[in-house]
Amino acid sequence: MTTDCHVRLADDVPPHDALPGKTPRRRRSVAGALLSLLLLAPAAAAQEHPALPDTGRGTELTISLVTMGPGKAVWERFGHNALWVQDDRTGAGRIYNYGLFSFEQDNFIVRFVEGRPEYWMQGFDAEPHLRYYVTENRSVWVQELNLTPAQRADLRDFLEWNERPENRFYRYDPYRDNCSTRIRDAIDRVLGGRLREATDHDRSHGTYRSHSVRLVADHLPTYVGLMLALGEPADRPLSAWEAMFIPLEMRRYVRDLTVPGADGREEPLVISERTVFESTASYGRDAPPDWLPGFLAAGLAIAALIALPMRRPARRSARAAATVTASLWALVTGIAGLILAGLWLFTNHWIAYRNENLFFANPAALLLAVTLPLAALGVRGAMRLSLWLAGAVAALSLLGFVLQILPWLDQVNGPIIALALPPNLALGWAVLRLRQHAVRL
């Protein structure tokens, strides 16, 4: 499950001095000049008015939501966001980033697999931090927020408090507690719950699965992994509030929100929006891909490799080919089923619970991958056990397909069914033919 801050397994939030060394020099110079002009503008304005009267706490602050577009790496496909606090008196800009992690943390890998990793937030100097994303050819957008001076000061104070060593760590969840939801909650806090009130009712903003797979659709292994690992909870309709786990979705929704102005009238939350840098690359899609026909074709091809040789079981080469192909398929689906069952039973990855794909990726197939080669070698009792296991795999797959008519089994797993059902049925038939041939001998 992972994401730059979600579906990927870890956030890509580099320290401000982690600039890539292989970026072309020309791009670095252009990016640096561009960022300098954009980032130093507030500081220049402050220097022009050094004697700005202190009309109240927070008047010197500008708060902006910064959204970073998707990157090349799979875990960067979900984008990223942060809060930029600019002090117009001093010209100092600070960007607060949630979602930092380190592989050097004690038992980080184990904790991540178990679904209880600890991430933290931290502030960085604005210009070098944003330069990193520009040099990585990732789009950067800045939305200045229409907050009162008191709200700006409150948000700045909260971020500074949150950055303290005793407060910065939190239990990361790629869907419900990530880099984007933390930013969302911080803004909602100073707005008195107005952001959530405006976005938490209409449940027509996609699902966790639809957002996840559309953003990784051009990386087939990750697409298959997410379709396989995400369980029934991933298909619940989301509100706009929940959909803001995706940074680019948050950028879109805050643009439409209004807040009371100084005179009590409704005003846009976003005062202004500007593009710091626009990437020349394009990642992800606006909607999930319809790859059901392709997955069905792949499933039928695998089924043919398993079943066709067994039209003539008397041939030794045919039996060997069917046994090898069937055993490999059983091994792959058995391992997949073991992982799915482990995610459900032994981890905190709630998004993988109640996974109907266990009908089609059965842990019992792992045992079949062992007994079937033994049966082919003539080990006593192995053929009968293989027949029972292959029959169970085929029957459960067929049952899982038929049960799709039930309204409470509504997991979106059509591509997985199309890929796995034909080979599982072919597996049962091929082992049955092997058994019949053995009996005739």
Q: In the Cβ-directed half-sphere of 111, how many Cα atoms lie within 13 Å?
A: 17
Three-state DSSP class for 252? Answer: helix
Contact 299, 423 (CB under 8 A): yes
Rounded to 10 degrees, what is the CA torsion of 264, 267, 270, 274? -130
Cβ neighbourhood burial of 122 (10 Å; 0-12, 13-18, 19+): middle
Distance CA 245, CA 168 (A): 19
Backbone angles phi, psi at 186, to 5 degrees: -65, -40
pLDDT digit string (tens) for 115-142? 999 999 999 999 999 999 999 999 999 9
- Comparing CA positions, the residue from 371, 301, 366, 352 lying closest to residue 1 is 352
Tell me the C-alpha to C-alpha distance, in Å, between residue 299 and each of 179, 191, 421.
Answer: 38, 51, 7
* CB crowding 216-239: b at 16 or more within 10 Å, else e: bbebeebbbbbbbbbbbbbbeebe
Q: What is the pLDDT of residue 104?
A: 82
46 C-beta neighbours (distance < 10 Å), count: 19
pTM of the model: 0.84
H or E element, residue 439 = helix 414-440
Instruction: Name the DSSP class of 312.
Output: S
Tell me the C-alpha to C-alpha distance, in Å, between residue 16 and each of 49, 96, 122.
Answer: 29, 11, 10
Which residue do the tokens 């840098």 mark? 277
* Domain positions in the chain: 25-277, 292-440
Distance CA 158, CA 80 (A): 20
Distance CA 33, CA 92 (A): 18
The length of the chain in residues reads 441
Contact 104, 203 (CB under 8 A): no
Q: What is the pLDDT of residue 4?
A: 56
Q: In the Cβ-directed half-sphere of 95, how many Cα atoms lie within 13 Å?
A: 25
Q: What is the pLDDT of residue 263?
A: 79
Q: What is the pLDDT of residue 52?
A: 39
Distance CA 215, CA 353 (A): 22
Which residue do the tokens 């959530």 mark? 196
Q: What is the pLDDT of residue 157?
A: 97
Which residue do the tokens 């800045």 mark? 142
Provide block-wise average pLDDT over 10 residues at a time, the chain (441 residues).
40 35 42 47 38 66 97 90 95 92 85 91 94 95 96 97 96 95 97 94 94 93 96 96 97 93 87 95 89 97 93 80 94 97 96 97 95 88 93 96 90 97 95 75 44
Distance CA 119, CA 116 (A): 10
Query: Rounded to the nearest 5 degrees, what angle is found at the Cα of 72, between the Cα atoms of 68 and 77?
Result: 55
Which residue do the tokens 């009267």 mark? 53
Q: What is the pLDDT of residue 440?
A: 53
Distance CA 299, CA 306 (A): 11
SS3 per-residue string spanning 77-128? CCCEEEEEEEECCCCCEEEEEEEECCCCCCCHHHHHHHCCCEEEEEEEEHHH
Helix pair 179-190, 247-255: axis angle to 10 deg: 30
Contact 333, 361 (CB under 8 A): yes
